[in-house]
Amino acid sequence: MVYCNYPLKKLNTFNLNINANKVVKVKELQQLCKLWQKYKKKYLPCLILGDGSNILFLKNFYGLVIINRIKGIYINESKKYWNLHVNSGENWHKLVEFTIKKKIYGLENLALIPGRVGSAPIQNIGAYGSSIKDFCQYVDIINPINKKIKRINKKKCKFQYRNSIFKHNNYKNYVIISVGLSLSKKWIPNLNYNDLKHLKSNITPQKIFNYICNIRKKKIPHPKIYGNAGSFFKNPIISPKLGFKLLKIFPDIPFSLENNYFKLSAGWLIDKCKFKGYIRKGVMVHSKQALILLNKFNNSSGMNILQLAIKIHNTVGKKFGIWLEPEVKIINSYGIVNPYIFFKKN
């Protein structure tokens, strides 16, 4: 059933009072293609939504929002690996739970990341020293107009930090329909992240899973209480020249080295600009984690959230010479917009 002028408040984790002209929930690929073709012929924009966990709506959406609930998990095994083919409408965290119950290990560091499987490769989701690129073997996409399916192998996905080829304009008319994951039967715990290094004795995948769930629950407010999209900005990766320059000025700046480039904590940069706890027009910088913007009373607007994010971006840029990039997708009445329209180097 297609719903008209449908509220999206429960379908975006910022809890924004936004409506879409048309909304439909789909459970089959043929249904998705049929709807896409119908509304594209009318020159209306189409938007695929999972759980709305990494998006910021600025206005009511003019076209059709398709809620992806195409599910299915299929398992094959080889001598050394578990190979999973997962449809894009599966909930990511429930997939992690499912694999642990099946004694298929490796995804535990990625527990409690919100969203659906289809969005995972777009962002190259990651947390606590792990990311989907570590396990992804391919991504299946479809052109809903001609129904042609393509399989993009891992190398061609061009995974980078919070980035992939699927963010490029060449893929804006494709829909991710499934993801292939490969998990080694020889489990080695990933304890590279600082918060996990103390977990050494009698470690199990379940213990890592439980520990990470507890950390995330403490750090990130539940969206039903305070609307949020988790980390609003990416952690910046900067040149060695700028990195060493900043180290001389700020010796306590936290960083890690990736191919000789400095990866900094965006939360630390924001905190140093004294934004923690700052509130403006109902939007608050989380007092425990400055990377998170909260719709404090769940009655603010997407524009108010964007304005505070721009203020943070400009302040950090002027203080450190680092111009933070948003992690969330920004959506206007017609679809996803280029964030650089709003977040420019001054």
Dihedral angle computed from the Cα positions of residues 294, 300, 301 and 304, in that order, rounded to the nearest 10 degrees: -70
Q: How far is CA 278 from the centre of its chain?
A: 24
Cβ neighbours around 273 below 10 Å, total: 20
**Contact present, 87 and 192 (Cβ < 8 Å):** no
Has 119 been annotated as catalytic? no
164, 231, 300, 301: the catalytic one is 231
What residue has token string 């509130």?
A: 279
**Contact present, 57 and 79 (Cβ < 8 Å):** no
Has 327 been annotated as catalytic? yes
Q: Which two tokens stand for residue 223?
A: 């969206």
88, 130, 164, 327: the catalytic one is 327
SS3 label, residue 237: strand
CA–CA distance, 241 with 127 (Å, rounded to integer): 27
**Contact present, 63 and 47 (Cβ < 8 Å):** yes
The partner residues of 7 in beta bridges, in order of sequence, read: 19
Closest C-alpha among 51, 16, 60, 56 to residue 296: 16
**Contact present, 52 and 11 (Cβ < 8 Å):** yes
Interacting residues of 342 by C-beta distance below 8 A, sequence separation 6+: 306, 309, 310, 330
90, 131, 162, 300: the catalytic one is 162
Catalytic residues: 162, 231, 327
